[in-house]
Every structure is written in structure tokens, then in C-alpha cells.
Structure 1
């Protein structure tokens, strides 16, 4: 009988793409959703509401694997105190809720895989190449990722194999990072943010989902893995490459950092800073990227 993978955040951009990858590889998929949805031949939907500590326990007891993707968008709204709390709790509370059911039902899993982010290395720009052994930062992004990953330790304490996928910006066809960027670029208004020298660790959606698939299939994988391409892509590099693919050269002046700070507040650090991030660990585990060239990846997303 086919194994079942339960997804949190399964109705989002990454979740929907990953669902198709899992189905194509012979898995059954179940999805936790806040709203009622009709089941299909291969996808079963279960209700939950982490804010109210509610989950249909059958979602957990019927699962062989869990992939945790749920979480409020980092750059969707200004970082007020309330928003920061929501960003953190939307990542941690679901793990705690799943842990409580696993413990209560004495249920084991073949693996629990959680999303994380390269933000764990901190919001600053430097030439440092961060590896999974690089110490976490003490800023908002760094501490949020630490607590996010820390919650997974509870699952691990039950004797369940766990993995944490530290993701960079995700490139997909009119989705993810490009969803907000493309409209302006397509109208010829592409520009560079700040100095443009901040690094942008990126990954194509196909490769990201491939990494999730590998963590399910490879019993040797556990702990943190960076899910990014190691190159020297900066905000300026990406902006110029994208504009070129759309048939023009950037003509607008750079958006000064102080303007972004006024418009976005503290959240501006998410677009004004960036480090290089190593992918050697996941490659060493046998994973092969399909997209390691920025122009090829962007072309695939905008063609």
C-alpha cells in the first residue's frame, strides 16, 4: 500500500507543487486545511485550526510522513509586534499541536520534515558562505528560525527522524518570490533595491520539492539542510537578468535604502540584506540540482 504524506500548508504555492511531485512518485497525500474541501482519489483533506488548538486527529494517525510548510508570509505585512508574534506562532504552534497528538496516540512516523529558512543566519550582508554549522543570528529572523527548528526537537524526542529544510527565495512560474516582482518588471519598471549588492540565495521550486522528496525517501537524511543554490547572485544580478529576459535594460534609478525603510519599516532588512549560503551538505547526500544557473531558472519561470 502506498505511503501517506501529510502536509501542513499544503494549499499554498509550495504545498500544491509538492503535492503533484509526491503523487507522481507514488505517494498518497493528505492536507490539513482550515476550510472544508472535497477529497479526491489521491488527496484527503482534514480540518484543523492551530489558533484554537484543534486538529482532526485522524490526519496524524493515518500519516506515514509529515511535511510542515505552514507559516505566515515573512514579507506580506509590516513587522508590528502583533505581526512578529503571528509569524512565529504560525510556524511553532502547528508543530506543538502535531506533537501533542503523536504523544497522545503513541503514534510514530517514518519522518517529520519541517520547512525553515536561511534567515536563521541573520539579516546582514557579507561575503561569508553560511553552512548548516554557522551559528544562528540573534535578530528577529534568526531567533524566529531557531524557535521554529527548536519546536521540531520535540518530535525528534519521540524517536522520529526529523529534517529541517532551510530555504532561500523560491523561484516559480508567476508564484513565490516572482509573483510580486514580475508585474512591475513586465511593464518595464524593473529596478534595483538599495545598493543591489545584497546576496539573494535562491532555489527553483522544482529543486526545492525534489529536496523534500529526497528527505522522505532517504532514511539517512536528518537535521538541517540548506535548500539554495550557492552562487554570487545579488539583488542587482537578479534584477538585471530578469529585465534582460523580458527584453529591456533597467533604466530606473536604484530605490534608496532609506525609502524602503520608510515604506516597509523594520521588514526592509529582509530585502536589503543577504548572505551566500552553501548547498554542499544536501549535494553530499546525493541530491542533484536541476537549476543552478540563474538565467536558466528565471527563463523557465517567465517563459
Structure 2
């Protein structure tokens, strides 16, 4: 396996993953809406319009599917919720449809999923891949996304899905949002669980799934979850920002964020046991060390 095609390659995770794959000797191309703007070899697609250059699929030995509209990028209006769902399901269905009649196509599909599958607030219960899904908006999105991805099996592809936790990356995602205010503070009670993963470990897990013949669904979270207060305090310290232990009240978050507040006031404690049992080794299993690594020039630079 030499040629790897990535959707969502220009995102936070995609860039780190591209770098790791290229360092191992793979040739990497992306699917994107503006190929001319990318320095990376990029084939055209527009999933919402149902368009895709099938030359990309003929070229690729393996396909890694990361694309999807950001869940926390803006308020969940009806239109935004539709985009969050369809950017995942339509893009996946398009890949399946275009591959169906191709004699030359990838033999492996590694797809992104999310721990949102379990529901936005699951309290203190330790969740494994066999737990039943939640019933809120994000759970519905992830259920539909996984169902679309598992259609790859009908085409004879080996299929692995990674249920991704909160990705720690200094230039974006949760950390950037948490550390944006002048003073860092927990959200809500601060006691809600956050199942996190260092971006370099997440990229490495995608590579591992590709190379080690993983199949089925795996939680992509570090071995130990942390509370929101602990993560915020350690992140503030690693970045050298002031921290106060008084949480931003849940009602205030609901005013600002609307329905999306459930995502930050709630939380999940997710098990990494199945992932560890495959032999995968986390380089950043300790939260404090992971944060120090990110803010001392570790993580991705872009």
C-alpha cells in the first residue's frame, strides 16, 4: 500500500496525519474543493454537489475519511445542524457510490467518527465501544455517519472507524477555545469528564489502523479521561495563562451557545481498552505532559 487519499486533509488532524504518512514513505493526496489552492497534491470533489474526480479513487490504495463541518464552529441553527449531518453522510455516500463501479479502487477505508455517539452527557459511567448510543443531536449525527461509513464493507473494503474524543492541538479545536478568554475558567460544574487525545497520537492511530489491519470501531481517546476543571487548569498552566476555579455557569453558556452548550456542560468518560489491546502505544498518555508538549513547540506547526 503506497498511495493514501485523505478527505479533510487540510484540517488540524489531516495536516498532522499527512506529515506522519509522508515521513513513513507514503504518497499522500487530498480530496478538496479548491485543489489549485493547496500545495498538497489534491483531487477535486464537492460532496454537497455530488461531484468527485474518480481518478483520485483509481489512484488510491487506502482512503482516510476525515471530512465534516466543524461541530463547535458556530451556533446550531437548523441550517447549521443540517450541514453538520450532511457534510458527513453525503460525503461518505458519495465515496461509496463512486467506488461501486470502479475496478481499481482503495482496499482499505479508515473513517473518522466521534465519541458524541454515546450522547453529550453520560456522567461517570465508563463507556466502551459496545455501549448503546445516546439520543441527542450529536448521537444521531454519529449513528448516521457510522452507518454510511460501514457501507464500505459491502464493497469489500476493510473498514475501521475511530470514535474521536476531544483533540488537543494548540492551534485550534477545544484548547484554542478554552484558552481564548483573558482568564481560563472551568465550564459549568467543571466536574464533567473530558476524554481527550493529543493530535499526534490521533494521527498515529489512523496510521496504525491502516497498517495493522484493524477492523471495526475503536475509541480514539487517551487511556485516562480528565475533568473539565483539571484540563482547563493544566492547559492554562502549560500556556502561562491565569486560571480561576470558579466555573462559567451553565445558564450563561446556554444563553451564549444555545443547544450546543449541552456539549460543553456535559461530558463522557470513554475507555481506551479496546484500542490498547491492539498493541497501539500512546506517546502522550499523561495529560500534563501532553499539554506541556503542545505548548513547548510540540504538536503541529502550521
Q: Which of residues 289, 294, 302 in structure 2 aligns to 1:301?
A: 294
Equivalent pair of 1:63/1:109 in contact (CA under 8 Å): yes
Q: TM-score, normalised by structure 1?
A: 0.93
CA deviation after TM superposition for structure 1 residue 247, in Å: 4.3
Tell me the SS of whatever aligns to 1:164. strand
Q: Is the 8 A contact 2:170 2:294 kept in 1?
A: yes
- 2:163 counterpart residue number: 166
Structure 1 range deviating more: 31-40 or 105-114: 31-40
How far the C-alpha of 1:27 sits from its partner, in A, is 0.5
**Partner Cα distance (1:47, 1:138) in 2:** 35
> Of the candidates 266, 269, 272, which is equivalent to residue 273 of structure 1?
266
Q: Which moves more between the two structures, 101-110 or 262-271?
A: 101-110
The alpha-carbon deviation at position 126 of structure 1 amounts to 1.2
What is the correspondence of 1:213-232 to structure 2 with a 5 Å cutoff?
213-219=207-213, 221-232=214-225
What does residue 191 of structure 1 align with? 185
1:259 pairs with 2:258: no
1:8 and 2:2 aligned: no
Q: Which runs of 5+ in 2 are unaligned?
A: 297-302
Q: What SS does the aligned partner of 1:37 have?
A: helix
Partners in 2 of 1:235 and 1:277 — Cα distance?
A: 14
* Cα displacement (A) at 1:251: 2.9
> How many residues are paired up?
296
2:54 is aligned to: 57
Shift of 1:110: 2.3
1:206 is matched with: 200
Provide, for residues 136-165 of structure 1, a one-character-per-residue CA deviation record: whole Å limited to 9, x for no partner: 112111111010000012111111100110
Listed as ranges, the gaps of 5+ residues in structure 1 are none
> What secondary structure, in the 3-state scheme, does the structure 2 residue paired with 1:299 have?
helix
Give the alignment's TM-score, normalised by structure 2: 0.94
In 1, Cα distance between equivalents of 2:171 and 2:144: 31
Give, in whole Å, the separation in 2 of the partners of 1:248 and 1:10: 31
